[in-house]
Structure formats: structure tokens, C-alpha cells
Amino acid sequence: MKNIADLAVFGVQKLSPYQPGKPVAELERELGITNIVKLASNENPLGAPTSAVTAMQAVLSDIALYPDGSAFDLKAALAKNLSVATNQITVGNGSNELLDLVARVFLSSENNAVISQYAFLVYSIAVQSVGAELRVAEAKDFGHDLAAMAKLVDKNTRIIFIANPNNPTGTCLSISAIEHFIQSIPGDVIVVLDEAYHEYVTQVGYASGLTLLDRFPNLIVTRTFSKAYGLAGLRVGYCISSTVIADLLNRLREPFNVNALALAAAETVLHDAKYLQNSVETNSTGMKQLEDGLQALGLRFIPSAGNFIAVDFSRDAAFLYQAFLQEGIIVRPIAVYGMPTWLRVSIGLPEQNTRFLNSCRKVLSL
């Protein structure tokens, strides 16, 4: 008789599960401490948007009913907001679901996908899960080297994933670089441009890939409500593409993939300009605070366009991670990305950033 683990399809046999940031409640249980600061999952430090909480309360009494599987209202609001057609939009259970859907629509064991070294881990899981070959281009200064990625494209390449900005490195590509890249590769290769941190980016030369959609029917731009919009716990994201791609994604999408509370909250927060502005301002102030603090400590970091920063401690970061936990601070080890001396730290509220910086001083002297 076969071992049950061997019955899994080949791609799944080789997978390692995604390691999320440690939940606050888990550390509370383990150490019996409170007043924990979690800077590990790039969540919004402002907490839930009040507007979204109110919107969810208003639909709570409807939860005996299935949600609107077509996400009509949310898509209409997004279409207006982004100046695209509703049939170019696909809504997902987090943008993670959409990344996975794209892989399932376009990849098989017969073809391959190209990503960059240090790219968001979800891409490699999505690619490998369907048995496709994963091609990883070496990064340049921790960022995507588009020329190196283009070199890995062959006749069997179906998808290229680009995270812009990238997580966990925070590096960001200019729109002209992305435009040249898409022009340079065959039109039958799908380019997934992951803009999970779009709302935070202030970098000169940056623009959303949405500006290229009209010219490139092979482009998919993914976005999320998990970061700047503060709805990570609800799981809702979206992507914008040509209608042909949206139709393909819609065939494979679960009929009710986004729940009713998430739909209501996302539609409401999309109009909550104040929350978004506060998110962005809190982030840029906090980023400056952390950069200054890290510099003062003599620690190297990668300038980040997102709501997090990768810091090089120049020693085994697994030990430091544990030391931060003892201080009640949860950060993110990124050894799985091949960065064993680095920790990724989400930008928090000013007092949380201060606590992290003070703890840096303490753990560095251990």
C-alpha cells in the first residue's frame, strides 16, 4: 500500500507551507505576556476602519443568505474609482486567491512561470502547486532585474510575476521600466503585476500598471484591501485585466469566493478617503522614524516603497527574532527568502516604532 503523503500530486509533495507572521494571541499564550506589538504581517497599524465596521454591522442580519457572487456593487465602485469597465475586474478572497487563480488558469506541468529572487513567496507556491516549472531570475540590489527575468522566458513561459513594490524587500520599479519590459516579451506571456502596496508608493517614476492595460491585453494588475485599507482579516482583493482574462478567471473562481461582510466593508472603505490618507501619512512618518532610528543604530536596511522595511542585522536573525519575541515584539524572519541575517519589520504607530527601536538596542547587546 502507498504512503498517503505520496498520493498527493507531485507539485504538492514538494511544497512547504507559507509561514505567516506569528499571531499576537499565540505569543500571549506562549509567554503569558500582554502589550504585544506585532510588526510582522504588514497589517495596518491604524486598526479597522470605522466606516467598514459600521457597513458590516448593517449587513450582519443578512448572513443567512449567500453573498452576491458577482460582487456587483463592489465592482461598480472599483470600476468608477479606477476608470475601468466592471467586466475587467475580478474580486478575490484576498489578492492571494487571485494569484492562485491565475496560476491555475494558465499553468500546467507542460509550461513554466518566471519570478525574481526574493519575490513574494505566494508566487512560487502557486506555480509549484500546479506542477509547472518555476524559473527564478537573480535579483539586482534586492530588486527585480527585469532583463534577467526576460532572459528566462522561452516558448513555454506562460506567466511572469512582478511584485511592485516587492515584499519582503520593498524595492520598486518605475513604470517606464515595466513598460519596456512588457514590450520586450511575447504578447502571449501573462504579466501579473502585484500592486499590493500601491497606495503607499511615493517614489518618483512610479505609476500603476493600470496605465498600461489598454495596450497590453496580457497584463493583470492585482490589488488588495489588506494593507492601506486595513481589512486584512476580511480577505478581499481584486485584479484588473483585459475582459478576456477576467472571463477566464471567472470560470474557475468559486461562485461565492468573497463573503458578504468583506464585500460591504470593501465597498465602503473604498470611499473612505480619510482612512486612506491617514494610512499613507502614518506610514511615511513611521518609515522616516524607522529609517532614522536604524541609521542611528548603524543598521543597514533596504529603502522601501511599502509599509515595511527589511533590516540586515549581519548575524543570525533567528536568534534575534526570538529575542524580540521576549520583548513582546513580533517581527518577521525572512530566511525562507534566502535572507537569514535580515528581519522584515512592518511600519507601526510612532510608539510601536519607538518600542521596536528601543528593543533593537537591547537585543543587539545580547
Of the candidates 276, 299, 214, 239, the one whose C-alpha atom is nearest the C-alpha of residue 95 is 239
With 0-12 / 13-18 / 19 or more C-beta atoms within 10 angstroms meaning exposed / middle / buried, residue 221 is: buried
How many residues lie near ligand PLP (CB under 6 A)?
Answer: 14
Beta bridge partners of 38: 330
Is the Cβ–Cβ distance between 166 and 146 less than 8 Å? no
Stretch in the footprint of ligand PLP (CB under 6 A) among 55-63, 82-90, 91-99, 259-267: 91-99
For position 196 contacting ligand PLP by CB under 6 A, the verdict is: yes
The minimum distance between CB 12 and ligand PLP, in angstroms, equals: 20
The minimum distance between CB 313 and ligand PLP, in angstroms, equals: 21
Q: Which residues 116-135 are close enough to bind ligand PLP by CB under 6 A?
A: 120
CA distance 351 to 112: 46
The minimum distance between CB 255 and ligand PLP, in angstroms, equals: 19
For position 194 contacting ligand PLP by CB under 6 A, the verdict is: yes
Can you tell me which residue has the cell 499564550? Answer: 29
The minimum distance between CB 316 and ligand PLP, in angstroms, equals: 25
CA distance 312 to 344: 9
Stretch in the footprint of ligand PLP (CB under 6 A) among 47-55, 145-153, 221-229, 277-285: 221-229
Residue-by-residue DSSP string for 80-119? HHHTS-GGGEEEESSHHHHHHHHHHHH--TT-EEEEETT-
For position 224 contacting ligand PLP by CB under 6 A, the verdict is: yes
**Which of 111, 226, 282, 346 is the binder for ligand PLP (CB under 6 A)?**
226
- Contacts with ligand PLP, 156-175, as mask; x by CB under 6 A: -------x---x--------
The minimum distance between CB 149 and ligand PLP, in angstroms, equals: 16
**Which of 21, 170, 209, 237 is the binder for ligand PLP (CB under 6 A)?**
237
DSSP state, 60?
G
For position 232 contacting ligand PLP by CB under 6 A, the verdict is: yes
For position 258 contacting ligand PLP by CB under 6 A, the verdict is: no
CA distance 278 to 285: 10
Which residue, 78 or 163, has its beta carbon nearer to ligand PLP?
A: 163
Q: Which residues 275-334 are close enough to bind ligand PLP by CB under 6 A?
A: none
For position 199 contacting ligand PLP by CB under 6 A, the verdict is: no
For position 201 contacting ligand PLP by CB under 6 A, the verdict is: no
DSSP state, 8?
S
Q: CA 356 from chain center: how many Å?
A: 23
Listed in order, strand segments (DSSP E) in the chain are 37-38, 89-92, 112-116, 133-137, 157-163, 190-194, 219-224, 237-241, 300-301, 308-312, 329-330, 332-333, 342-346
Is the Cβ–Cβ distance between 66 and 233 less than 8 Å? no
The minimum distance between CB 315 and ligand PLP, in angstroms, equals: 26
List residues binding ligand PLP (CB under 6 A).
42, 94-96, 120, 163, 167, 194, 196, 224, 226-227, 232, 237
